[in-house]
Amino acid sequence: MPSGDSPPNTSGLPDPDRIHTREEFSEALRLLRGTSSYAQLDAAARRTRPGGSEVKLLPAATLSDLLNGKSLPTRETLSLFLEACDLVAGAQQPWLAAWERVSTAHLHKPLHAVRVRDARPRLLGVHASIQMDPGVDTLPTYVPRDLDLLLREAVAAAAGDGGFVLLRGGSSVGKTRTLFEAVRATLPEWWLLHPADMSAVRALAEKPAPRTVLWLDELQRYLDQPGGLPVGTVRSLVGTGMVIVATLWPNEYNARVLPRTPEQDDPYANDREVINLARIFDVGDEFTAAELSRAEDLASDERIRAALTSKDAGLTQVLAAGPELIRWWENADPGDPRQSCGKAI
């Protein structure tokens, strides 16, 4: 907190999630400033640096522009200002998201795109969960995976100048949920487009939009369409700064990347080049000991607790396959001993 000054005024602030214009943004920053002078804010910012800083980090002209809405600050300047107001780490995220939203409001929005923060995971391919309470139709609490940190760093790096991130894993191992949580945590204010088919991908390539995530769950669906997903299209999209994220089953991956002999036809030559552009992360079939420990910590969610006690399948498989199993049991043929046995489990 700036020395000799009252605490920043954090009470009664507009919700950063509701800030959409430059005027709303600068007004909120003025309230956050409280009664601190420009000199006190700069001094507080300099104290955040190891050993302090003798160079002005928040000059008066910069603060004037920031607080009066004359221009939007850079992300780095905003972060410094927030630190000077005693907002660090996670407390800064809503403000940085508001900055992203305001600074990109003028950019082209792809047709049918939504903000990542508003995306509905079920529509993106995340499996419905087993439901313990008929009145609850939400996803279970997310159990952090061991790969989360590296995955989110990869998504953030791709956001710098474009990139392609691919999760490889079997059925119902949690790869789509893991990818969704990574994108939502890293790029909440970007646009997200989940194309229905390759015509939508081609339309995006013809009119690319900055700060857009292209969501290609089950990548083989696009690779297998007539004409496929040309590697040139992927290179073009990445070249515009777009972030492409995708999932793929191991058998689909293996079929496309296995080397061919010179005498063989190579129907997957293009697909292999597409996959080679991606940074690939593997999602295991089973939870690791560390992941199971985190799940235990979240077992206040009844669905996670039920999955942890199951002996018949992995945690994510029980959570994701629950609705399908229940429907199968409810419609089982009592005359079929295999089905009636399953219904009794």
315 or 122, which is more confident:
122
User: Is the model's pLDDT at 37 over the cut of 60?
Assistant: yes
Q: What pLDDT, on the 0 to 100 scale, is given for residue 82?
A: 95
Q: What pLDDT, on the 0 to 100 scale, is given for residue 283?
A: 95
Report the distance separating Cα 94 and Cα 16, nearest Å.
6
Any idea what DSSP says for residue 91? G
* Mean pLDDT rounded to a whole number for the chain: 86
Q: What pLDDT, on the 0 to 100 scale, is given for residue 121?
A: 95
Task: Identify the weakest region by mean pLDDT among 13-22, 103-112, 309-318, 332-341.
Answer: 332-341
Helix residue spans in the chain (DSSP H):
22-33, 38-47, 60-68, 75-84, 93-103, 148-161, 175-186, 198-206, 220-223, 231-239, 250-257, 269-276, 289-297, 302-309, 315-330, 337-344
Mean pLDDT over residues 107-111, rounded?
Answer: 87
Task: Identify the weakest region by mean pLDDT among 49-58, 109-118, 145-154, 244-253.
Answer: 49-58
Task: Identify the weakest region by mean pLDDT among 60-64, 110-114, 145-149, 263-267.
Answer: 263-267
Domains, the chain? 16-103 (no CATH), 114-282 (3.40.50), 289-344 (no CATH)
Using a pLDDT cut of 70, give the percent of the chain over it. Answer: 84
Residue 5 — very low, low, confident or very high, per pLDDT cuts 50/70/90?
very low
- Contact call for residues 183 and 155 (beta carbons, < 8 A): yes
Q: Note the pTM of the prediction, 2 decimals.
A: 0.77
CA atoms within 13 A on the CB side of 139: 20
Residue 89 — very low, low, confident or very high, per pLDDT cuts 50/70/90?
confident
User: Is the model's pLDDT at 112 over the cut of 70?
Assistant: yes
Identity of residue 231: V
Residues in CB range of 219: below 8 A, 6 or more apart:
166, 229, 246, 247, 248, 252
User: Is the model's pLDDT at 339 over the cut of 50?
Assistant: no
Q: What pLDDT, on the 0 to 100 scale, is given for residue 108?
A: 83
Q: What pLDDT, on the 0 to 100 scale, is given for residue 342?
A: 31
Read off the pLDDT of residues 223-236 as tens digits, 9 standing for 90 and up: 999 999 999 999 99
Query: Could you write out the DSSP letters of every residue in 270-308?
Result: HHHHHHHTSEEEE--SS--HHHHHHHHHTTTSHHHHHHH
Q: What's the longest Cα–Cα distance across the chain?
A: 83
- CA distances 188 to 17, 180, 202, Å, are 11, 11, 24
Q: What pLDDT, on the 0 to 100 scale, is given for residue 105?
A: 84
- Contact call for residues 256 and 223 (beta carbons, < 8 A): yes
Any idea what DSSP says for residue 213? E
User: Is the model's pLDDT at 10 over the cut of 70?
Assistant: no
Read off the pLDDT of residues 137-196 as tens digits, 9 standing for 90 and up: 788 899 999 999 999 999 999 999 999 999 999 988 899 999 999 999 999 989 999 999
- Contact call for residues 8 and 85 (beta carbons, < 8 A): yes
Mean pLDDT over residues 264-293, rounded?
Answer: 94
Residues in CB range of 220: below 8 A, 6 or more apart:
248, 249, 252
Owner of token pair 């396959």 = 321
Report the distance separating Cα 227 and Cα 237, nearest Å.
17
- Name the pairing type of β-strands 212-216 and 243-248: parallel
